[in-house]
Structure 1
Amino acid sequence: MTIMQCVHRDYTITADVVEHPGIPTPWAGGCVITTPDGQTTKRIPLPVNYAFMAELEAAQHASIAHGKWLVDQFLDEGKTLFKAA
């Protein structure tokens, strides 16, 4: 499997898709975001209604798009990427 990633506004977004064999939509989308200073988030799953997909490539693209949206929310709206300890 190839790793899909991109850089958006100096943040590296990596698709982190998990396979659940045996179900019609086995690909669970999610992403990991690395900040410009090197901090990395834990895996951030897609929202439940959109998490599972039938095709790996679709799950990867959706995961990257979700990561871009999260970075935009963080930079433009002040939302957090990291959970408080």
Structure 2
Amino acid sequence: MSTLQCVHRNYTITTDIVEHPGIPTPWAGGCHITGPDGRTTRRISLPLKLAFLSELENAQRASIAHGKWLVDQSLDQGRELFQAKTA
């Protein structure tokens, strides 16, 4: 399985697709986002209603689109993208 990667507003978005064989929609979409400072998010899944797709390519595209939306929300709306470190 190949991973897709793109750069959006200086943030790198990398797909992280998980396969669940044996079900009609076996591809669970998700991504990691790396900021310009090198910090990387945990795996961020697609929203539950859209999380599982029947084709790998669609899961990858949806994961990239979701990552771009999250970056836009972080930069334009001030939503936190990276988890705060705990002591």
- Give the TM-score taking structure 2 as reference length: 0.95
Q: How does 1:22-61 map to 2 (within 5 A)?
A: 22-61=22-61
1:2 is aligned with what amino acid?
Answer: S
> Alignment length, in residue pairs?
85
Any idea what SS the aligned residue of 2:61 has?
A: helix
- The separation in 2 between residues aligned to 1:2 and 1:25, in whole angstroms, is 18
Identity of aligned residues (%): 72
Instruction: Structure 2: state its 5+ residue gaps.
Output: none
Instruction: Structure 1: state its 5+ residue gaps.
Output: none
User: Is 1:4 the equivalent of 2:11?
Assistant: no
CA RMSD of aligned residues (A): 0.7
- Give the TM-score taking structure 1 as reference length: 0.97
CA offsets per residue over residues 2-59 of structure 1, 9 Å max, x none? Answer: 1101000000000111000000000000000000010000000000000000000000
